[in-house]
């Protein structure tokens, strides 16, 4: 199958690896992907350019990785052009693009989530801080690539973030803090049909022991040994399916990947956020365990046939993913450093995120430079394998978290 993948990060590298065996093009891609796919430059925010490239290569399927093209209407443009696309329409992608819309859908569907107040000007910030302490959850209500959230007990920090969001031109959302460990569950959704992938957890803070600023994600693991046996089913029954049905009832059926970020508190799971796309870095861990060929599954969603596919098959065991970040990430990542290591061209071990090629060498071109994936029969073995791989990679000044999946291995997560 001729497949066009839109995006340029570790998630898209993982998608390409899982789609291996097909005729692949990626746009705009990154240096590490050129061994798996033809890499083409593109403006991902332009639906017209995406349709143009899909037509040029005669794509039989377009898979949209990041949220920006979805919220800009790339899927709508591809559907109008008669090209099968994996990814929701602009109206359906509002589940990620507009937190107010997501809250409205959840309320109508009877799905548990945090209470929230949306503030549109600096005048409303103090009153919202009074309402929501002592643990403040302050979110950018626009698209922020998973990086627009500050969770803090420091009122001054919460206020500064709220002011920065308002200054950027977006509304700011104050939410009640949801107790309990977080679960990322990716669900394939096609109208009312929901097929969950393996549950995962990511580590959002920059440094060990969940210290430091929030990032796009510093590592992940899957599946979750601490989740109850029926945990995935509960997330599907209580969250994914009611939301999918509510979207159908509203005449905006969802087709693509619905990412449920939930906190599992004493009363069960409650939604922290939805995303309209695969998550990064969880995708890199989850897809490494998928045995079923991904292309057929994504095409089935794009063609409205998800209810016809065989149950997904998964490899036994666990996967752990560790991100190598450039010095200074996330505040001011230093790019341009040369990356060396023997595994850099093996996508079963290393997935590139922010790399480019210069004079035959890989150099860092972004904050999250690459991620390594280790697998094993146990979570501990998977983590050990990931650290063995990352220790063989050099990038001056780079750092990574040393405690990915550690609380789960130590049995420190309980519900
Ligand atoms: N894992 C966080 C995100 O993809 O937004």
Kindly state the DSSP code that residue 398 receives in the 8-state scheme: -
Q: Which of 95, 97, 146, 199 to mutate to test the pocket of ligand 1 (most atoms within 8 A of CB)?
A: 146
**Residues spanned by the domain of 32:** 2-89
First to last CA, the chain: 43
pTM above 0.75, yes or no: yes
In a domain, 101, yes or no: no
Residue nearest to atom 4 of ligand 1 (CA): 279
CA separation, residue 253 to residues 27, 89, 295, 308 (Å): 27, 9, 22, 18
Q: What local confidence, expressed as pLDDT, does residue 147 receive?
A: 61
Tell me, in angstroms, the distance from the centre of ligand 1 to residue 58's CA: 31
Q: Are both 189 and 165 inside the same structural domain? A: no
Work out whether the CA dihedral 268, 270, 276, 279 comes out positive or negative.
Answer: negative
Which of 288, 308, 328 terminates a domain? The answer is 308
Q: Are both 195 and 162 inside the same structural domain? A: no
In a domain, 96, yes or no: no
Q: What local confidence, expressed as pLDDT, does residue 145 receive?
A: 57
Q: Are both 60 and 158 inside the same structural domain? A: no
Q: What's the token pair of residue 236? A: 């599907």
Q: Are both 186 and 167 inside the same structural domain? A: no
In a domain, 106, yes or no: no
Q: What local confidence, expressed as pLDDT, does residue 133 receive?
A: 83
Q: What local confidence, expressed as pLDDT, does residue 149 receive?
A: 84
Tell me, in angstroms, the distance from the centre of ligand 1 to residue 359's CA: 32
Q: What local confidence, expressed as pLDDT, does residue 146 receive?
A: 55
Which of 308, 326, 350 terminates a domain? The answer is 308
Q: What local confidence, expressed as pLDDT, does residue 385 receive?
A: 98
Residue 52 CB partners (closer than 8 Å, separation 6+): none
Q: Are both 212 and 132 inside the same structural domain? A: no
Tell me, in angstroms, the distance from the centre of ligand 1 to residue 304's CA: 26
Q: Are both 218 and 289 inside the same structural domain? A: yes
Tell me, in angstroms, the distance from the centre of ligand 1 to residue 82's CA: 30
**Alpha-carbon span 59 to 49, nearest angstrom:** 14
Q: What local confidence, expressed as pLDDT, does residue 236 receive?
A: 98
Q: Which of 205, 281, 321 to mutate to test the pocket of ligand 1 (most atoms within 8 A of CB)?
A: 281
In a domain, 100, yes or no: no
In a domain, 98, yes or no: no
Q: What local confidence, expressed as pLDDT, does residue 148 receive?
A: 78
Q: What is the CATH number of the domain that holds 12?
A: 3.40.50.20
Q: What local confidence, expressed as pLDDT, does residue 99 receive?
A: 85
Task: Please state the domain count of the chain.
Answer: 4
**Alpha-carbon span 324 to 398, nearest angstrom:** 7
Q: Which of 182, 215, 217 to mutate to test the pocket of ligand 1 (most atoms within 8 A of CB)?
A: 217
Which of 126, 155, 175 terminates a domain? The answer is 175
**Alpha-carbon span 120 to 300, nearest angstrom:** 41
Q: Are both 340 and 384 inside the same structural domain? A: yes
Q: Are both 162 and 210 inside the same structural domain? A: no
Which is nearest to 149 in space by CA: 108, 105, 182? 182
Residue 358 CB partners (closer than 8 Å, separation 6+): none
Residues with CB under 6 A from ligand 1: 146, 202, 217, 275, 279-280, 282
pLDDT < 70 positions in the chain:
144-147
Considering only CA atoms, give the Rg of the chain.
20
Please answer whether residues 83 and 59 qualify as being in contact, where contact means their C-beta atoms are separated by less than 8 angstroms: yes
Q: Are both 146 and 63 inside the same structural domain? A: no
Q: Are both 380 and 359 inside the same structural domain? A: yes
Q: Which of 65, 67, 202, 258 to mutate to test the pocket of ligand 1 (most atoms within 8 A of CB)?
A: 202
Kindly state the DSSP code that residue 123 receives in the 8-state scheme: G
Q: What local confidence, expressed as pLDDT, does residue 203 receive?
A: 97
Tell me, in angstroms, the distance from the centre of ligand 1 to residue 181's CA: 15
The three-state secondary structure class of 44 is coil
In a domain, 415, yes or no: no
In a domain, 332, yes or no: yes
Residue 293 φ/ψ, nearest 5 degrees: -60, 125
Tell me, in angstroms, the distance from the centre of ligand 1 to residue 281's CA: 7
Q: What is the CATH number of the domain that holds 372?
A: 3.90.600.10
State which ligand 1 atom lies nearest to the alpha carbon of 184: 1
Q: Are both 212 and 145 inside the same structural domain? A: no
pLDDT tens per residue across span 42-57: 999 999 999 999 999 9
In a domain, 95, yes or no: no
Tell me, in angstroms, the distance from the centre of ligand 1 to residue 274's CA: 10
Residue nearest to atom 3 of ligand 1 (CA): 279
Tell me, in angstroms, the distance from the centre of ligand 1 to residue 396's CA: 26
Q: Are both 199 and 163 inside the same structural domain? A: no
Work out whether the CA dihedral 15, 18, 20, 21 comes out positive or negative.
Answer: negative
Q: What is the CATH number of the domain that holds 240?
A: 3.30.470.20
Q: What is the CATH number of the domain that holds 168?
A: 3.30.1490.20
């Amino acid at each position: 199958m001729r497949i066009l993948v839109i995006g340029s990060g570790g998630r898209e590298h993982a998608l390409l690896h899982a789609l291996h065996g097909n005729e692949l093009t990626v746009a705009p891609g990154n240096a590490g992907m050129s061994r798996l796919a033809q890499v083409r430059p593109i403006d991902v925010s332009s639906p017209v350019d995406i349709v143009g490239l899909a037509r040029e290569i005669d794509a039989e399927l377009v898979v949209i990785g990041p949220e920006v093209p979805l919220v800009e209407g790339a899927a709508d443009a591809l559907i109008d052009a008669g090209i099968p696309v994996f990814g929701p329409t602009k109206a359906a992608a509002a589940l990620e693009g507009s937190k107010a819309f997501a809250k409205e859908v959840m309320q109508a569907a009877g799905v548990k989530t945090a209470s929230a107040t949306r503030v549109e000007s600096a005048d409303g910030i103090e009153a919202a801080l009074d309402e929501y302490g002592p643990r403040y959850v302050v979110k950018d209500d626009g698209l922020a690539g998973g990086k627009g959230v500050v969770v803090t007990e420091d009122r001054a920090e919460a206020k500064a973030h709220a002011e920065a969001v308002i200054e950027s031109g977006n509304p700011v959302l104050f939410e009640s803090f949801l107790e309990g460990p977080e679960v990322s569950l990716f669900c394939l959704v096609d109208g009312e049909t929901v097929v969950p992938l393996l549950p995962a957890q990511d580590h959002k803070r920059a440094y060990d022991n969940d210290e430091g600023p929030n990032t796009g994600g510093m590592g992940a693991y899957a599946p979750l040994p601490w989740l109850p046996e029926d945990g995935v089913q509960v997330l599907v029954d209580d969250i994914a399916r009611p939301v999918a049905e509510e979207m159908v009832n509203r005449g905006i059926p969802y087709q693509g990947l619905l990412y449920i970020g939930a906190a599992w508190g004493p009363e069960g799971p409650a939604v922290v956020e939805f995303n309209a796309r695969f998550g990064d870095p969880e995708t890199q861990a989850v897809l490494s365990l998928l045995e079923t060929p991904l292309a057929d599954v994504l095409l089935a969603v794009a063609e409205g046939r998800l209810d016809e596919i065989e149950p997904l098959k998964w490899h036994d065991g666990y996967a752990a993913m560790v991100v190598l970040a450039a010095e200074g990430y996330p505040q001011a990542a230093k790019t341009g450093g040369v990356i060396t290591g023997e595994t850099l061209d093996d996508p079963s071990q290393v997935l590139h995120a922010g790399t480019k090629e210069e004079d035959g060498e890989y150099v860092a071109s972004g904050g999250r430079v690459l991620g390594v994936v280790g697998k094993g029969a146990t979570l501990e073995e998977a983590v050990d394998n990931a650290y063995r791989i990352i220790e063989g990679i050099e990038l001056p000044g780079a750092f990574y978290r040393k405690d990915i999946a550690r609380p789960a291995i130590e049995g420190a997560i309980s519900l």
